[in-house]
A and B are shown apart, each in its own frame.
Chain A
Amino acid sequence: MSIKSDFPLFANNPDLVYLDYANTAPKPQVVIDAVMEYYTHYSGNVHRANHDVGGRADEAYENARVKIGQFVGVGRDQVVFQKNTTEGINLVANSYAGKHFKKGDRILATGLEHHANLVSWQLLSGRIGTETVFSKVDEHGNFDEKDWMVKVASGVKLAAFTAVSNVTGERLPIERMIAAARAHGVVTLIDAAQLLPHERADFAKLGADFMVFSGHKVYGPTGIGILIGKPEALESMDPWIGGGDMIDTVSLLGSTYQEPPLRFEAGTPPIASVIGLGVAVEYLGEKLDREHQEEESTAMECLLEGLRQVKGLRWLGHPSCDSRLVSFVIDGVHSADLGAYLNEKHVAVRVGKMCAHPLLAQSGVDSVVRASIGLPTDGTDIDKFLYAIERGVTILR
């Protein structure tokens, strides 16, 4: 049976060609059921209820934390619930870098970063006077590893980098990057938002200090993101947001705080989303095998081969069958027009600057169309997409 049948989005929208997985992934029925079951059967609060309903919520919530930890090879105490990838990076910027770094300390990012891993560091610079430096990208938008290796050895304190570009789909050599950073005593943060929907990553084996990802891109609910941290790194951080559940003792004179991860989870969390994400990573974990990866690669190869036939089409970076997304422009056709036409044909793609304004500026384009694939993508989707592109270009030129 097709994977598509796991996703009610497709049953409810039979004409839909969904190629916007890098933006957000559809939810399988098992995830929706888990969220629904929480609300219909045991919708108590967590960590603060003395009744059975709350107890069931506690159990499901903390079980989800264990499953999410297992998904990336860490224990439950290393799994911090945040709102999304962006909030996870901001937490590290505020509570780790903000505490341990001082004016003039440098943070290294790449020229490929999503705004989440760029603006967070700019805000920190404004607050404490750190400086953010960037490794180069070439004229096609490719990562310059040599330049990054020079910069990581230049006395920077922290290197924050995307594992997979949300614009070019390039998968960075994060294993080599982490090894080099460690050799120079540089703290590392991986933005794994575009990596984990397609590839397993064992945090302990990678040896990074922090890793962040979003629930909604790994087939889970929105409103939940994950920060994974080394125990000693998390323990060294002060809370960023104060309130209920993150405290140990409170008096009018001052407070003491919980150990991580609860120290960073003030207030009532998105309980249903956490429970849903626990189911989502189980679902995805079963499918991150060679067979499904080859299917995704085949779909990507067909997509790229079709796009190669479009006259005047130029993509950013060098996408291959190993990529899971491609961003492109077509001579004489505005991306906004093409996106609107594709929408008319029930093809969902992303159009615009991809929350990566500097990279698009460097590549000399104002906006792009991005097609991204996921587990349910099949040959029919690719055929319909390519046909719509061909027709759209004819009408819009």
Chain B
Amino acid sequence: MTVAERAVELEEELDYLDRDEKFEWLIDRGKSLEANGTYTDADLVKGCQSKVWLQVSTNGDKVHIEGTSDALITKGIVGLLVELFDTAPTGEVKDFDFIAWLAKNEMSLSYQRMQGLAGMLQRIRMTIK
């Protein structure tokens, strides 16, 4: 499935939710995200109120991404990044504007949290460039 197709699948879920439900949807994704890996300080992403660990690598043309956070909303965002980008081709990941996608789906995030998100996206960009 392409990144765009994965995004559409998520949008189908979001279409039926109001603002409050979208918030809880993100929290639930955070609660259900399994942190498989072992994380170190090198995986920490700067610029977020909470702690975020993100591991991004490439295998040939495919992106591998996993991570976690000590806060649920951030963990939910990590979950979305994994769902959209893990095992996807690097070109598709590069072309996908995650922040615009959140805005389009009316996923409200405070400015501070956007700063943390910028760090996560920067980590992904730097790895797949």
Q: Does A355 contact B (CB under 8 A)?
A: no
A-B contact count (CB 8 A): 43
| Contacting residues, chain B, for A341 (C-beta < 8 A) | 23
Which residue of chain B has its CB nearest to the CB of A335? B49
Does B49 lie within 8 Å of A336, measured CB to CB? yes
Interface residue ranges, A against B (CB under 8 Å): 334-337, 339-341, 343-344, 351-352, 366-367, 395-396
Contact A336 to B24, CB < 8 A, known contacts A344-B19, A351-B49, A367-B49: no
Contact A395 to B50, CB < 8 A, known contacts A334-B70, A337-B72, A344-B19: no
Kindly name the residue among A340, A366, A396 whose own CB sees the greatest number of chain B CB atoms within 10 A. Answer: A340
Q: 16 A-B Cβ contacts within 8 A? A: A334-B71, A334-B72, A336-B49, A336-B74, A336-B112, A339-B49, A340-B110, A341-B23, A343-B110, A344-B19, A344-B20, A351-B49, A351-B112, A352-B49, A367-B49, A395-B23
Q: Does B7 contact A (CB under 8 A)?
A: no
| Contacting residues, chain A, for B108 (C-beta < 8 A) | 343-344
Does B49 lie within 8 Å of A344, measured CB to CB? no
Which residue of chain A has its CB nearest to the CB of B22? A344
Does B73 lie within 8 Å of A337, measured CB to CB? yes
Interface residue ranges, B against A (CB under 8 Å): 19-20, 23-24, 27, 48-51, 70-74, 108-110, 112-113
Which residue of chain A has its CB nearest to the CB of B71? A334
Kindly name the residue among B70, B71, B113 whose own CB sees the greatest number of chain A CB atoms within 10 A. Answer: B71
In the complex the two chains form, what is the Cα distance from A395 to B73 in whole Å? Answer: 11
B103: shortest Cβ distance to chain A, in Å?
A: 16
Does B71 lie within 8 Å of A336, measured CB to CB? yes
| Contacting residues, chain A, for B113 (C-beta < 8 A) | 336, 340
| Contacting residues, chain A, for B48 (C-beta < 8 A) | 336
| Contacting residues, chain A, for B112 (C-beta < 8 A) | 336, 351-352
Contact of B23 among A335, A344, A352, A366 (CB under 8 A): A344
| Contacting residues, chain A, for B50 (C-beta < 8 A) | 334, 336-337, 367
